[in-house]
Structure 1
Amino acid sequence: MEIRPILSTLRRHKTAAALIVLEIALTCAIICNALFLIVERLDQMNISSGIAENELVRIQAASLRQLGDDDAINKSVTNEYLDILRHVPGVTQVAGSSQIPFGNGSNNSGVRLAQEQQNNTLNATVYMDGGTLLETFGLRLVSGRDFNADEYQEMSVVEKSGDDGQINGAIINRTMAEKLFPGQNAVGKAFYSWGNKPIRVIGVVEELIRPNNLGLGQYSMIFPIRQYNAGMDYVLRTEPSRRAEVLKSAVDALKRADPNVLVVNQNTFSELRRKFFEQDRAMAWMLVAVIAALLIVTALGIVGLASFWVQQRTRQIGVRRALGATKAQILRYFQVENFLLAAVGIVLGMLLAFGINQVLMSKYELPRLPFWYLPIGALVLWALGQVAVFGPARKAAAVPPAIATRSA
């Protein structure tokens, strides 16, 4: 089929053709970026935490005895609660933690490779290990070792030492190790974070996610520091099938032992993850709805324009049929015409998609739109155009040759 007659017809209907091209371009640009955002959200929702989520529950608890924020009382209550929870049937490990993955709070600190370095190499979150954090979380050491008993300190001692204090080693996650010491074994290397003295890496775990602020990079470090605060998170490890049972028993045990206990939160880590990503999940579904609405509107626009053109060209189609054009040729004519309009709209849409992505990158620190999203958007819109134009094209193909003999 020659393209020239189609182009000639489109030149005579510039406004209508331009409107459908613009609609396709906008749809292409928005769909490409929306798909990209959906995939970004799904990747983030499925991010590995590095912990044994399906075996963990947490209880955030405090006692009315801790209202005075006395260090000795905080230490006494924390150790009392740890001992109670350790003896709950089904609990295999328990640890107290000032922060947890998918939690609301986050303790972060800048990390430098040299003491005199002005700008931080990275920003890492800091977990405090009172002695059982690795075993309770189910973290996997890929190199190095766990802390020795004589390396633990109490937070009150560290705070009194100020910048002259010494952190007796750190365990960092693999992502942080690769960032600080690319291509090297991080164990034995040193960095600066708290105070003026170097902190030596004694171990590297496969993964340990930040509690929140995931956009800062997945850099996490564990210090051998015992911290005693009111409202600490107590993390219990058990069998996956016993999480609900153990959680209820643990809360009951605390309430029996201490009438002054306040249980602020009690969750499985699966629930924590689900709640943490609620907004991301809602945004993904909203973008799916936007894509569906745009595709429907675009399809209706194509159907409406094609139907209008069929009505306007009825006599012309009849003449072509009288001159020997088959139904298949008429059908193909409208499909090719739509394909050309879609192609122009898609090219413009690709350029617009990159423009929108640049704005999103500058405003929301999103990564660059991968090139392969563009052909996906193009194929979707080409397929949509062919499906949408098929009905009006069939109607055009059904125009009888006798229509050419009727008066205008």
Structure 2
Amino acid sequence: MLEIKPIFHALCRSKVGAILLLIQIAITTAIVSNAAFIIQDRISYLSQETGYPEQDIFIFNVMMFGQDTSPSQQYELDEAMLRQIPGVVDAAYSSTTPLSGSGSSSDFSLKPAPQESKSARSSYMFIDEHGINTYGVNLIAGRNYSEDEVIVTENYDELSKVIVVSKSLSDELFPDGNGLGQSIYFGDIPLKIIGIVDVMKGPWLKDSRPDNVALIPFIKAGSNARFVVRTEPGQRQSVMNRVEEAMLKNYNKRVISRIRGLDEDKEQYMAEDTLMMRMLIVLITILVLVTALGIFGLTLFNISKRTKQIGTRRALGARKSAIISYFLVENAMICSVGLVIGMIAAMYLGQLLMQHFSIAQLDVRYVIATASAVFIMSLLAVLAPAKRAANISPSIATRTI
């Protein structure tokens, strides 16, 4: 028999400790539910497929100060030289870097501006005919640019008439899947879609449309440039160690800076999210430990307060299992009320986080899973003190002090 009624009356006579524990369980459930959901969301975000062989790609910046050569001609020579380095798969100029948190974006529409039409926001990069292969993305429809379709200039007077887009952007603009061969507008400039690539993330993974990417064959040669190099697997560091010397040997009136891997750019961009996830894991661990210690301490306190009562019951023939059951049921009653309050608070807290911090709506499964875990943890925390109470000697507990 669970003896719920006498246990309830006993709790009412000593309710301060029970209420404090109830509040602690409720707070733990509310916070841990949301923290666990955010952690899982961050893990999915941090481990998402980007479409790039990140471990094989590196980027570096070039700043030219020499005036005795044309930047566009020099960059073509540089690209050709980079492709000759042992271990290099391909190399290309790129206006921006994906996964870095820094880039360019615009609306691409079905009609020229300022006409009203369906449009989609997308990041875009200026690259040449080697860009797609250098980034290692998969061309799933159409073709790559030809060399004569790439506009190399030192101003923005002319722009290419073709474009390669990601599948995500094509599907958003053309839901029927017939984007290949269609024209879209970059402002009032028509661009014909000649190719579609599979998964390809833009500069902002936190963006509402991170998969929307447009690749435009356009090189604006200036004193500053960015090069992307893809190497054979395992050869990246070796090539990175040689690239500055090779570039300066090709033309020495410039500075080579920020040689870094694509994965390093991504890691730096995601540093805040990684830190937040680790802090939440620490918070969950501390909350669970504090709650477990609270349950453990309250049970020990109740045992010390009820030593004579326990001894009397033992002297009257109560089995050890009955004593253990008493404390388990008492803890379960406190925990159940705390969990109900905590689950309601968790859903409310989830709504606040969604409204103020653009976090996805809390999945109720996380609340149920957290409540179940806290309930099991509370039973385990009370088990050792309950066994200790069951081993109290009747002769010691019932003697007059």
Q: What SS does the corresponding residue of 2:351 show, helix, strand or coil?
A: helix
Higher percent of residues as strand: 2
- Contact 1:27 1:298 (8 Å CA) reproduced: yes
- Residue 80 of structure 1 corresponds to 77
Q: Following the alignment from structure 1 to structure 2, what is the Cα–Cα distance between the partners of residues 383 and 309?
A: 20
Q: What SS does the corresponding residue of 1:241 show, helix, strand or coil?
A: coil
Q: What SS does the corresponding residue of 1:240 show, helix, strand or coil?
A: coil
- Contact 1:24 1:298 (8 Å CA) reproduced: yes
2:91 pairs with 1:103: no
Structure 1 segment 218-237 matched on structure 2, within 5 A: 218=210, 219-237=212-230
- Residue 349 of structure 2 corresponds to 356
- Residue 208 of structure 1 corresponds to 200
* Partner of residue 299 from structure 2, selected from 306, 312, 325: 306
Query: Which sections of structure 2, spanning at least 5 residues, go unmatched?
Result: none
* Partner of residue 196 from structure 1, selected from 165, 188, 192: 188
2:129 pairs with 1:136: no
Counterpart amino acid of residue 105 in structure 1:
S
- Residue 297 of structure 1 corresponds to 290
- Contact 1:49 1:101 (8 Å CA) reproduced: no
Q: Following the alignment from structure 2 to structure 1, what is the Cα–Cα distance between the partners of residues 291 and 398?
A: 36
**How many angstroms does 1:120 deviate by?**
7.4
In 2 relative to 1, CA 62–311 (structure 1 residues): closer, same or farther, beyond 3 Å?
A: same
**How many angstroms does 1:34 deviate by?**
1.2
- Contact 1:360 1:366 (8 Å CA) reproduced: yes
Q: What SS does the corresponding residue of 1:316 show, helix, strand or coil?
A: helix
- Contact 1:65 1:73 (8 Å CA) reproduced: no
Structure 1 segment 110-189 matched on structure 2, within 5 A: 110-115=107-112, 121-154=119-152, 159-160=156-157, 167-189=160-182
- Residue 370 of structure 1 corresponds to 363
In 2 relative to 1, CA 386–147 (structure 1 residues): closer, same or farther, beyond 3 Å?
A: same
Q: Which moved more, 1:331-340 or 1:119-128?
A: 119-128
Query: Which sections of structure 1, spanning at least 5 residues, go unmatched?
Result: none
- Contact 2:161 2:190 (8 Å CA) reproduced: no
2:270 pairs with 1:277: yes
**How many angstroms does 1:176 deviate by?**
2.1
- Residue 347 of structure 1 corresponds to 340
Report the aligned-residue RMSD: 2.4
**How many angstroms does 1:229 deviate by?**
3.6
Q: Following the alignment from structure 1 to structure 2, what is the Cα–Cα distance between the partners of residues 44 and 229?
A: 36
Q: What SS does the corresponding residue of 1:204 show, helix, strand or coil?
A: strand
Q: Deviations over 1:91-128 (max 9, x none)?
A: 22110101112225211112334456669744210011
**How many angstroms does 1:244 deviate by?**
1.2
**How many angstroms does 1:399 deviate by?**
2.2
Q: What SS does the corresponding residue of 1:368 show, helix, strand or coil?
A: coil
Counterpart amino acid of residue 91 in structure 1:
V
Q: Following the alignment from structure 1 to structure 2, what is the Cα–Cα distance between the partners of residues 178 and 322?
A: 78
Q: Following the alignment from structure 1 to structure 2, what is the Cα–Cα distance between the partners of residues 334 and 121?
A: 64
Q: Deviations over 1:341-362 (max 9, x none)?
A: 2222122112111222222212
In 2 relative to 1, CA 156–232 (structure 1 residues): closer, same or farther, beyond 3 Å?
A: closer
Q: Following the alignment from structure 1 to structure 2, what is the Cα–Cα distance between the partners of residues 10 and 299?
A: 19
Q: What SS does the corresponding residue of 1:236 show, helix, strand or coil?
A: strand
- Residue 9 of structure 2 corresponds to 8
Q: Following the alignment from structure 2 to structure 1, what is the Cα–Cα distance between the partners of residues 147 and 81?
A: 22
Q: Deviations over 1:287-342 (max 9, x none)?
A: 11111111111111111111111122222222322332211111111112212222
Q: Following the alignment from structure 1 to structure 2, what is the Cα–Cα distance between the partners of residues 117 and 389?
A: 70
Q: Following the alignment from structure 1 to structure 2, what is the Cα–Cα distance between the partners of residues 233 and 128?
A: 11
Q: Following the alignment from structure 2 to structure 1, what is the Cα–Cα distance between the partners of residues 235 and 14?
A: 70
Q: What SS does the corresponding residue of 1:379 show, helix, strand or coil?
A: helix
- Contact 2:320 2:391 (8 Å CA) reproduced: yes
- Residue 26 of structure 2 corresponds to 25
Q: Following the alignment from structure 1 to structure 2, what is the Cα–Cα distance between the partners of residues 7 and 206?
A: 63
Q: Following the alignment from structure 1 to structure 2, what is the Cα–Cα distance between the partners of residues 47 and 261?
A: 37
In 2 relative to 1, CA 181–340 (structure 1 residues): closer, same or farther, beyond 3 Å?
A: farther
2:249 pairs with 1:248: no
- Residue 94 of structure 1 corresponds to 91
- Contact 1:191 1:200 (8 Å CA) reproduced: yes
Counterpart amino acid of residue 191 in structure 2:
I
Counterpart amino acid of residue 144 in structure 2:
D
Q: Following the alignment from structure 2 to structure 1, what is the Cα–Cα distance between the partners of residues 391 and 117?
A: 73
Q: Following the alignment from structure 2 to structure 1, what is the Cα–Cα distance between the partners of residues 224 and 357?
A: 33
Q: Deviations over 1:348-379 (max 9, x none)?
A: 11211122222221222111111221122112
Q: Deviations over 1:30-55 (max 9, x none)?
A: 11111112122221221222122232
Q: Following the alignment from structure 1 to structure 2, what is the Cα–Cα distance between the partners of residues 188 and 196?
A: 18
TM-score by length of 1: 0.89
In 2 relative to 1, CA 349–198 (structure 1 residues): closer, same or farther, beyond 3 Å?
A: farther
- Contact 1:129 1:223 (8 Å CA) reproduced: yes
In 2 relative to 1, CA 340–169 (structure 1 residues): closer, same or farther, beyond 3 Å?
A: farther
TM-score by length of 2: 0.91
In 2 relative to 1, CA 80–149 (structure 1 residues): closer, same or farther, beyond 3 Å?
A: closer
Counterpart amino acid of residue 276 in structure 1:
Y
In 2 relative to 1, CA 229–351 (structure 1 residues): closer, same or farther, beyond 3 Å?
A: farther
2:317 pairs with 1:317: no
In 2 relative to 1, CA 344–183 (structure 1 residues): closer, same or farther, beyond 3 Å?
A: farther
Counterpart amino acid of residue 32 in structure 1:
S
Q: Deviations over 1:373-402 (max 9, x none)?
A: 112211221122112112221222122333
- Contact 2:153 2:219 (8 Å CA) reproduced: yes
